[in-house]
Amino acid sequence: MSSFFHVSIGDGLYLISSVASGTSMEFGPPTANSYLIVGREKALLFDLAVNEPGIRDYIKTITDRPLMVVLSHGHPDHIYHLRDFSQVWMHEADENFPLCLNPGLKLLKRKLTIHQLRQGDTIDLAGRVLTVFHIPGHTMGSILLLDEQTGTLFSGDTVARRVLYGITGCPPLSEFEEMLLHLPTDRIHKIYSAHDRGAIEPEYIGHMIRLMREELPKTEKYWHFPGFPKMRNLVYGEESTPDFFDIAVPEAVLDCEGESCRPK
Ligand SMILES: [Zn+2]
């Protein structure tokens, strides 16, 4: 039996997740969530983050509109069951990204049409327009979608309470902070990320930037994982409270400024 469930988080907006990690909408340990955004003529599924078969059929229980799948980025935990779809929209910088982690996808890619999304693009679902923001950092091709109708920002792994920064190339951290600062917070009412079900307040963007600028350089905690570079790790607050923040940044990125730490 399918373990999907969905919760309405606004007019025509749904969070889709799996009961395997409970059904709580409160902040706590990480969960995996996709988002369904329903317009008058089309619906959009943001990420394939739920590792359960049958997402297409499950979506049909919510809407019968033609479905467009958009990926926030190319990490393997955002492309589950991609084979169920013949086309997908994403930023070109992450197009080949999954292949280096999962060579089996090379075969899949031959059957998949990939459409590109760039900074400032808009997606019109009829009666509902989404604006694309490209913020490299978590990956080089990470994008966020802003539903202009409700002011809901779908932020993937970019504006998030847990940020794994740039393990496969990234801009200097100062540029990432600058791009976050330029998000139009006057148009953002609430934020939903891929691994939390609770709504993040727009003020959290400033909180992230302050912690990255002031606290991260001071921390002496490191995060080691086989195959990953040496990562500086700041953990702030309790996971059950909204202001929790956990960020890991490669030491090499933290130590450099400007062109020298740009990926080749
Ligand atoms: Zn990711």
CB 197 within 8 A of CB 17: yes
Q: Ligand 1 centroid to 260 CA: how many Å? A: 24
Q: Ligand 1 centroid to 157 CA: how many Å? A: 5
Residue 143 has pLDDT above 80, yes or no: yes
Q: Ligand 1 centroid to 234 CA: how many Å? A: 18
Using DSSP bridges, classify how beta strands 43-46 and 67-70 pair: parallel, antiparallel or unpaired.
Answer: parallel
Residue 166 has pLDDT above 90, yes or no: no
The protein residues having their C-beta less than 5 angstroms from ligand 1 (an ion) are 75, 157
pLDDT at 76: 86
Using DSSP bridges, classify how beta strands 122-124 and 129-134 pair: parallel, antiparallel or unpaired.
Answer: antiparallel
Q: Ligand 1 centroid to 106 CA: how many Å? A: 19
pLDDT at 98: 52
Q: Ligand 1 centroid to 98 CA: how many Å? A: 11
Distance, CA of 164 to CA of 139 (rounded, Å): 9
Q: Ligand 1 centroid to 200 CA: how many Å? A: 18
pLDDT at 264: 42
Instruction: Report the percent of the chain where pLDDT is more than 90.
Output: 77
pLDDT at 38: 98
Residue 65 has pLDDT above 80, yes or no: yes
Instruction: Report the percent of the chain where pLDDT is more than 70.
Output: 91
User: DSSP of 193-261, one letter per residue?
Assistant: ETT--SPBPTTHHHHHHHIIIIIGGG---EE--TTSPPEEEEEES-TTSTT-EEEEEEHHHHT--GGGG
Would you put residue 122 in left (φ > 0), alpha (ψ -120 to 50) or beta?
beta
pLDDT tens string 124-142: 999 999 999 999 999 999 9
pLDDT at 260: 52
Beta bridge partners of 10: 13
Query: Model's pTM, two decimal places?
Result: 0.94
Identify the residue whose tokens are 């923001």.
133
Q: Ligand 1 centroid to 259 CA: how many Å? A: 24
Q: Ligand 1 centroid to 168 CA: how many Å? A: 11
CB 253 within 8 A of CB 166: yes
pLDDT at 228: 80
Residue 111 has pLDDT above 90, yes or no: no
Q: Ligand 1 centroid to 257 CA: how many Å? A: 24
Q: Ligand 1 centroid to 127 CA: how many Å? A: 30
Residues 6+ away with beta carbon under 8 Å from 95: 74, 114, 116, 141
Q: Ligand 1 centroid to 40 CA: how many Å? A: 30
Q: How confident is the model at residue 262 (pLDDT cuts 50, 70, 90)?
A: low
Q: Ligand 1 centroid to 46 CA: how many Å? A: 13
Residue 103 has pLDDT above 80, yes or no: no
Residue 106 has pLDDT above 90, yes or no: no
Q: Ligand 1 centroid to 151 CA: how many Å? A: 23
Q: How confident is the model at residue 1 (pLDDT cuts 50, 70, 90)?
A: low
Q: Ligand 1 centroid to 134 CA: how many Å? A: 14
Residue 118 has pLDDT above 70, yes or no: yes
**In degrees rounded to 5, what are phi and psi of residue 206?**
-65, -35
Q: What does the pLDDT average to over 89-111?
A: 71
